Chains A and B, each alone.
Chain A
Amino acid sequence: MPAIFHYISQNTRGERLPPAEMAASLVLVLLIAVTVRAVLFRSSLAEIIAERVEVVSPLNGWKRVVEGLALLDLGVSPYSGDVFHETPLVIYLFHFVIDYSEIVFMIADAITAVALYLAVQDYNKIVFRKQKYTLEAGRYPLDVVELLRTPKEMMYIPIKVAVFYLLNPFTVLSCVAKSTCGLNNAITALFILCTIKGSALLSAIFLALATYQSLYPFTLFAPALLYQLQRQFIPISIHSPRFWIFTSQYGSMYLGSLVVITCLSFFLLSSWDFVTSVYGFILSVPDLTPNIGLFWYFFAEMFEHFRPFFICVFQINVVFYTIPLSVKLKEHPIFLMFMQIAVISIFKSYPTVGDISLYMAFLPLWHHLYRFLRNIFLVSIVLIACSVLFPVLWHLWIYAGSANSNFYYAITLAFNVGQILLVSDYFYAYLRREHHLIHGLYLKKKDGTEETLILK
């Protein structure tokens, strides 16, 4: 196996940047990101951006938070006006830091980026170690050398992830609009970091916080659990007692922190108003302000008595894919995590561009799948064109009055189809790479001709 030996020897003397230099480039990226945001905060664009329906939703609009705070200061329940739909913890957070809100949002973005950076760095080490063991055990076919990952290529991934999150126009817009989506992203990123670092308790607490914030992240329980089982070498089988012990441990930690947080919120406001106002609002979708999601148009058009049925159908989409994906990707929990975050941001009831930016930050991590991606050109064109067309069609509909909601919804649909294609393309590419790692890169049919893989 000369090729593989060559590969191993190359790995052992793989050049690495000193950590100080990587840290310096991370600081540089952070500085650039903060500068961009600070400039935008000071410009007249901030007000326009804060009004865009693509950037803020009824759940996370800053105006609504301010309204909730005003009600709280007057001694009224912030949920009494049907305007405010954030959680009690967020309103108490801003109760103390309302004067520094811009800084809070910038810090939230920075936390997300740094957490993702550290998480990805750690994850890469694990992936690389695993690949090395498999190589040394000689379990890879001979011709997959070009599929193997090199330290040189992996070295830049963490910083790329940070750049993708911080300098993504979607994140910048979301931060400048002071959408509380940035906070949710920070919590999710911390959850990912804790999971990858292997701290079950912290991971459960942050997952509970994320669930408390926006409900849907509870589907991330599955990948987090799978990852930690894998990390502790616990076999995933229903006959293994260790599997059940750990699952119940992690589950009870998660549920326990969820109960604690919820009760804390109850004691802060001494009422259960927030449950209907936040979670009822997320689940029953009463606000049909247009956004980049799929809900508003359907429910605006629908007859009232079909509403509960279709709400169930639409909401089930988010959780529907969790189990099949968990079964298929049980060996690859971080990729499952990425898929789940993407599915949530596509199918949630009030999506904004901030949600999209979180899963887009993961794309550099799957850089090695690039050669298997099939529609990336088409999909990126669709996504870019739709992002540009959103404001144009909004202008035509709302200001010029010449177009109507159908035009806007058409773009929403195209945008979501683009996202779904993107995610399924990555899914397919991931599966295909794994297939090649087992069966060899150049597949031959029995008669010796080149075999092709067909996804059906």
Chain B
Amino acid sequence: MGLLSDPNRRRALTNLVTRLNTPLCVMCYIVGITWFLGLAFEPFTLRTYMSENAMGSTMVEEKFVYGDRALSYSREFSGHRKKVGGLPVDWLVKTMKSRGLEVYKQTFSRTLPFPDESKERYMVKGTNVYGILRAPRAPRTESILLSATCSEGSNNNQAVGLLLALASYFRGQVYWAKDIIFLVNEHDLIGMEAWLESYHDVNMTGIQSSPMQGRAGAIQAAVSLELSSDVITSFDVVVEGLNGQLPNLDLVNLFYAFCQKIGMLCTIQGKLQRNDWDTLPGYSHSLNTMLLMVLKQSSGRPQGDHGLFLRYHVEAVTLRGINSFRQYKFDMSTVGKLVEGMFRKLNNLLERFHQSYFFYLLPSLTRFVSIGYYMPAFSFLILILMLRALDLWVQLSNTPHVQDDEEQDPGPSMLSLATPIFICHLTGLALYFLPILSQDMATQHFPVSETEAVVFTAIAIYVAGLALPHNTHRALSGSGTECGWRSLKLLSLLYLAVLLGCTALINFSLGFILAVTMVPMAAFVQPSGPRVLYAFGLVLVSPACTLLLSIYFYHYLLEYPITLLECWQQFLMAISQGILDHHLYGSLVYPLISLFIYPCWLQLWNIVFWK
């Protein structure tokens, strides 16, 4: 505290901060970005390790041999599925019952706020079928879940076949200490949401579903299977869940450990592990993998069926079977052995997963970056905002005497500050509520579909926001004062810092991407100097442009570049999906952007046009 209480040293520090402000900010930005890029470099990361005792000490022997049975189930299933034109509920119930499970059905229905064009659904009705294998060796207070989805458009028959074969195999074993739930859900995430909500007896998203007839214990872990071919070459593990939440790293380690044991190829983000970390291609490969994870996580969308479990404290991953052109293939028995092994280990869990990390980034499956390593990169970016705010504060508090002559009392200054902030937030509210509310009106007056109406209304409000607010304060107080814009900028910077900080805690990737784009422009905008340049820069870093660029960059990273027109279409789809995710599953990204980030950005926009 000596530094803060000694006036001389304080003055020296303040002088340092104000005089070297710009170089310090630039340095912080460079350090932040470099730190982040360095995270993908292998010597700077930690090797993954199993920290859960129950998972490490005991080895299990996998004996699953029902690969052929799995295939025959899957053929039968696909036949019945074609006949019924949806999930063959009766056949599934009968088959599960004959395998000795307690079988229940759950029907649900949901009308979407507007039609989902990418999946062609509007009024969704469906049935989830699940069977419970009761644990013979322990009180039935805990359970593990295996799920496979059955929805229009995707195949996934082999996953259901394997699920049934595993069910009949597990039935014959005696060592189960936890109930095992086998769930086949219809309409992928909507069905999963319906099932989870009624299993936990909550209703958060307004889905209608029949009450749950049978329950097992508290779900400890869940694995969601996606298999669409009889043989596979590798397994891809998907971790990103709703709002960027991640499962406990031990679950991912468990999957990796069994892949190693069985000799199965495993990937993350569709990327194989490389051993040449000390070469440039090796580094760029792991950077590529990490950036893909950051982009996926920042979308806040569940990347697989497992994504909704995480909200209920259930650790879950999706395993996606990949069948590529590689020569060496794995059959269903091997895949079944992998799942069996994982379930045997999960069966040994003594308490919930809590040992390992919940906040991490994965540059590869064997390496991880924990929160303590990646947060400094973000902190350096936030430090820029703090430095600028400090600078502005010093400037504002050093010139009070000049201000006294211009302003008679603090009243008008308050008003001229509060009005733009109020209007910016009002625009944000409009952006949040109007697209859904006005879709009927839009479809009546323009030749567009409901989905297009929603998306275009959102874009129209977004663009209109640019024109609207910056004219207001002039009408109020004549001309904007020097002090006025500085105070507004100070407030905006602090607001942005708090917002980004909170965002990064919940969803690091989203916070980081927004910080990388918005912070430099936020730090340097002012109503003098090259204003056209500032305005252009601000538009470039606005949340919508960031989304557009992220989509383009994402496809570039996938090594599947797209043209600008395709990118635009993807952009429109991303907006509609974002709104739908919010209404269907409670994703927070759309409200965050429309209610907070966008208004904050508008305040910065206001500063450029202050005079």
B partners with A: yes
Beta-carbon contact of A392 and B311 below 8 Å = no
| Contact bitstring B374-404, A, C-beta under 8 A = 1, else 0 | 0000000000001001100100000000000
Known pairs A377-B393, A400-B311; A389 contacts B502 (CB<8 A): yes
Q: How many A residues have CB within 8 A of the partner chain? A: 22
Contact of A392 among B310, B494, B506 (CB under 8 A): B506
Instruction: Please report the C-alpha to C-alpha distance between residue A106 and residue B310 in the assembled complex, in whole angstroms.
Output: 40
Q: Give bound CA distance, A456 to B9, whole Å.
A: 14
B-binding segment of A245-253, A327-335, A380-388: A380-388
CB-defined contacts of B8 to chain A, threshold 8 Å: 452
Residues of A within 8 A of B246 (CB): 402
Say yes or no for B313: interface residue by CB 8 A criterion.
yes
Q: Is A20 an interface residue (CB 8 A)?
A: no
**Does any Cβ of A come within 8 Å of B5's Cβ?**
yes
Tell me the bound Cα distance from A452 to B502 in angstroms.
Answer: 40
For residue A303, give the distance in angstroms from its CB to the closest CB of chain B: 22
In the complex, the answer to whether A385 meets B501 with C-beta atoms within 8 Å is yes
Considering the chains assembled together, what is the distance between the CA atoms of A395 and B4 in angstroms? Answer: 34
A401 and B501 alpha carbons, distance in the complex (Å): 19
Chain B contact residues: over half helix, strand or loop, or mixed? helix
Q: Which residues of B contact A399 (CB under 8 A)?
A: 311
B530 CB–A CB distance under 8 Å: no
Is there contact, CB below 8 Å, between B4 and A377? no
- Give chain B nearest CB distance to A146 CB in angstroms: 11
Chain B residues, Cβ within 8 Å of A32: none
Interface residues on B, range: 20 to 34
User: Does the CB pair A375–B4 fall under 8 Å?
Assistant: yes
Q: Is the Cβ of B501 less than 8 Å from the Cβ of A374?
A: no
Verify A388–B498 contact, CB threshold 8 A: yes
Do B245 and A384 have beta carbons less than 8 Å apart? no
Give the most central of B6, B310, B393, B505: most A CB within 10 Å.
Answer: B505
What's the count of A-B pairs with C-beta under 8 Å? 48
Q: How far is the CB of B357 from chain A (nearest CB, A)?
A: 9
Min CB–CB distance B550 → chain A (angstroms): 24
Mark interface residues in B170-205 (1 if CB within 8 Å of A CB, else 0).
000000000000000000000000000000000000
Chain A, range 402-456, C-beta contacts under 8 Å to B: 402-403, 452-456
CB atoms of A396 and B393 under 8 A apart: no
* Inter-subunit contact A389/B311 (CB<8 Å): no
A12 to chain B, nearest CB (A): 22
Across the interface, which residues of B come within 8 angstroms of A292, CB to CB? Answer: none
* Residue A159 at the chain B interface, CB threshold 8 Å: no
On whether the beta carbons of A401 and B313 are closer than 8 Å, the reply is yes
B320 to chain A, nearest CB (A): 23
Q: How many angstroms between the C-alpha atoms of A189 and B501 in the bound complex?
A: 37
Provided the pairs A377-B390, A400-B245 are in contact, do residues A455 and B5 lie with their beta carbons within 8 angstroms? yes
Q: Bound state CA distance, A377 and B5, in angstroms? A: 14
A393 touches B (CB below 8 Å) = yes
Q: How far is the CA of A403 from the CA of B245 in the complex (A)?
A: 11
Question: What per-residue 1/0 map shows which CB atoms of A221-243 lie under 8 Å from chain B?
Answer: 00000000000000000000000
Q: Residue among A381, A385, A399, A400 with the most chain B CB within 10 A? A: A400
Q: Which residues of B contact A377 (CB under 8 A)?
A: 390, 393
Within 8 A of B (CB), among A332-374: 374
Chain A residues with CB below 8 A from B494, complex form: 381, 384
Residues of A within 8 A of B386 (CB): 381
B47 at the interface (CB under 8 A from A): no
Residues of A in contact with B (beta carbons under 8 Å apart): 374-375, 377, 381, 384-385, 388-389, 392-393, 395-396, 399-403, 452-456
CB-CB nearest 7 A-B residue pairs: A402-B358, A401-B313, A392-B502, A452-B7, A377-B393, A455-B5, A385-B498
| Pairs A–B under 8 Å by Cβ, sample size 26 | A374-B4, A374-B5, A377-B390, A377-B393, A381-B494, A384-B494, A385-B497, A385-B498, A388-B498, A389-B501, A392-B502, A392-B506, A393-B505, A395-B506, A396-B506, A399-B311, A400-B245, A400-B506, A401-B313, A402-B245, A402-B359, A403-B358, A403-B505, A453-B7, A454-B6, A456-B5
